[in-house]
Amino acid sequence: MFDKKRRISKEAQELLTEVYDFILEDNLRDKERQIGLLAKNDLEKGRYTIAVLTQLRASLQREALNMPLSPQALAFYKRLAPRINKMAPLGTNRGNMMVGRSYLD
């Protein structure tokens, strides 16, 4: 009924570009790539960027518990925490961020 396009924020666009690059890495395992694809889809739908970041981080953490992350996924994972610290509003419940649901639940 209403064909309203959502504007994507600058931060979300930067994250989307970084997730695209991550997905295109050659040596990712299938689950790592699937996590990236699900995060990309959420960002393209206009989901709250902090929610996508925290779910992406939680998903990679849980995957790392099962099997060590590939070097590309590990490098990507390490870039997520500083981005969350920069973007998350003051007063954000960080404890909940670390135990949030995974994309592969």
What does the pLDDT look like over 62-103, one tens digit per residue? Answer: 999 999 999 999 999 999 988 888 877 666 655 555 556 777
CA angle 101, 82, 58 (to 5 degrees): 15
From 73, 71, 65, select the one nearest 32 (Cα to Cα): 73
Q: How far is CA 14 from CA 19, 67, 100, in A?
A: 9, 28, 23
Mean pLDDT of 31-45: 95
Global pTM?
Answer: 0.82
